[in-house]
A and B are shown apart, each in its own frame.
Chain A
Amino acid sequence: MSQLRGIYCVWRRYFAVYQKSIGFGLITTFAEPLLYLLSFGFGLGSMIGDFEYHGLHITYRQFIFAGVAAQTVLFQGFFEAAYGGFVRMYYQRIFHAIAVTPITLSEILWAELLWDASRASTAVFAVFIIGCISGDFHVLGAVCALPVVFLCALLFAGLGLLTAARSRTIDEISYPQFLFVFPMFLFCGVFFPITQLPEAMRGFAWFLPLTSVTDILRAFTLGVPCFILSPFIILCWLVGLVYCARRAMFKRLVK
């Protein structure tokens, strides 16, 4: 059995669980971004109207749609890996059960990360469909953005798995959630351009991964230019978080 086959077998296990409750899974995957779109895109968006963004006249709905796509990558990737990963590792002991078969722990952890990223990408795909139907996204841009979305989802899955590996109890997951994930959600350009932030906060916002993810998704879906360092920032966070998450999980499981 090759490494890829091992990873696929475990990924397939996750998919089988998802298939079992596909109705519920789809509702939760699609409902959250839809609610944000309805509330901020159609509700708040109709009050704010047009504004200029990178020299382009866009509606607030167009602006927020791309932000909601980025927020969906963050939440779906992080929560599936942090809470789902913790439950599978600690309560269900799935990793222990599979790691004594010909599939190695390294392959199990890759499968975990890839599954979390797959699930988050599916949710973003739903946002893209709505954006394209409502005419707020460039269809070609949205299609081209999908591989980038998967990499960004892998980044936040890495953050989630790192959190799961470092948490002694499931309650401890809420610390990074409130101290890191929610501030990112609020200050990384999802709801307003980060140029509105005070100068001192702007540099810090650019350092956080969600700012670059939001920036790059807007570039794809709205056709505006992105910050030249955004792909580099995403790549650095991706490599760093995936490496740290796998290392922390190995350290926790293998004595």
Chain B
Amino acid sequence: MQAAMNELVSDVSFDGPTLAVEELSKCYEVPGQEPFCAVRSLSMNIGRGECFGLLGPNGAGKSTSMNCITGFYPATNGKILIMGIDVQKDPRRARLHLGVCAQEDTLDTDFTVLYQMVLYGGYFGIPLEESERRAKELIEKFGLTEKVNEPAETLSGGMRRRLQVARALISRPALLILDEPTTGLDPEARRVVWDVVGEFRKAGGTVLLSTHYMEEAQRLCDRVAILYRGNMLDCAPPMDLIDKHAGTEYINEEIRPGVFWKRPPNLEDVYLKLTGTQLESEAQ
């Protein structure tokens, strides 16, 4: 069992929260204006094996929060601890526990599928042979074996996305940050990513996920935070959020002109209600 766990996550010994964010704020200076705050006093604790979702419209502060958590952006205020290590004070050590799949395609198109994963392992100080062994395992897990020696630029969009998630796992991180990992994937490829996320969590890994797909959040996340203009509007398990904001009664929805169907409330209703309410109150 331990050996299987170690295939995806190397450090499962830490007792505290894998990710602790305390009062995180990120503001930008705007010449001649008040500073613009993309994230305001965001706090969350994510425990080992948990999948935590960040939902919100464009500009809600999801990617900015993630960039602060990775230590790429300096926080204006607040504290971020990964496995108890302060990201802002010791980013090098904190990032040893971190795997990141960014929203944008950041694959190294100069190299083949295998070599770029091996190279990426090198950035974490993983020896060449070990990095190659792990890379081959992940390539197989993500169904890319046939493309192992192909240049990354020749892969389809879905394959590139899978490769990016696989690459994020090469260091066997304790915390995996996935910023819209399944955008543009076909249902089959999306299922592969979901399965690996499930497997990663079973191995003790923690996931911070940002997505626009409510179905994905509802399916994968233990807890979901809804962000809007840098503020966390609510945070709870998906079903609790649905009960609290959308109720339990079936919704009669017109799906085409004159065609109605009754369906149970879902996370999308919560999302639209919370962010829609905000839009209305701002308009007034």
Cβ A9 vs Cβ B122 within 8 A: yes
List the count of A-B residue pairs having beta carbons below 8 Å apart. 73
Cβ A102 vs Cβ B74 within 8 A: no
Interface residue? A54 (CB, 8 A): no
Q: With A100-B70, A101-B123, A254-B74 in contact, is A94–B92 under 8 Å at CB? A: no
Cβ A103 vs Cβ B74 within 8 A: no
Number of interface residues of B (CB under 8 A): 32
Q: With A9-B122, A254-B72, A254-B74 in contact, is A100–B108 under 8 Å at CB? A: no
Q: How far is the CB of A100 from chain B (nearest CB, A)?
A: 4
Cβ A99 vs Cβ B72 within 8 A: yes
Q: Per-residue 0/1 for A1-23: is the Cβ within 8 Å of any B Cβ (1 yes, 0 no)?
A: 10001100110110011001000
**A100 proximity list for chain B (CB < 8 A):** 70-72, 95, 98, 100, 102
Q: Per-residue 0/1 for B71-104: is the Cβ within 8 Å of any A Cβ (1 yes, 0 no)?
A: 1111000000000000000011101101010101
Q: How far is the CB of B116 from chain A (nearest CB, A)?
A: 9
Cβ A1 vs Cβ B125 within 8 A: yes
**A254 proximity list for chain B (CB < 8 A):** 72-74
**A97 proximity list for chain B (CB < 8 A):** 102, 106-108, 120
Interface residue? B278 (CB, 8 A): no
CA distance A105 to B108 in the complex (A): 17
CA distance A104 to B74 in the complex (A): 13
Residue of A nearest to B107 (CB): A97
Cβ A96 vs Cβ B102 within 8 A: yes
Q: With A13-B119, A255-B73 in contact, is A102–B124 under 8 Å at CB? A: yes
Interface residue? A252 (CB, 8 A): no
Interface residues of B in 207-246 (CB under 8 A from A): none
Residue of A nearest to B110 (CB): A17
Interface residue? B277 (CB, 8 A): no
Q: Per-residue 0/1 for B2-28: is the Cβ within 8 Å of any A Cβ (1 yes, 0 no)?
A: 000000000000000000000000001
Interface residue? B194 (CB, 8 A): no
Interface residue? A247 (CB, 8 A): no
Q: Could you jot down 9 A-B contacts, CB within 8 Å? A: A5-B125, A6-B92, A13-B108, A92-B106, A93-B105, A94-B106, A102-B96, A102-B125, A254-B74
Q: Known contacts A102-B95, A102-B96; can you find 20 more A-B pairs with CB under 8 A?
A: A1-B92, A10-B123, A12-B122, A16-B110, A16-B111, A16-B115, A17-B111, A92-B110, A93-B106, A94-B108, A97-B106, A97-B107, A97-B120, A98-B123, A100-B98, A100-B100, A102-B92, A103-B92, A254-B74, A255-B64
Interface residues in chain A, defined as those with a beta carbon under 8 Å from any beta carbon in chain B: 1, 5-6, 9-10, 12-13, 16-17, 20, 92-94, 96-105, 254-255
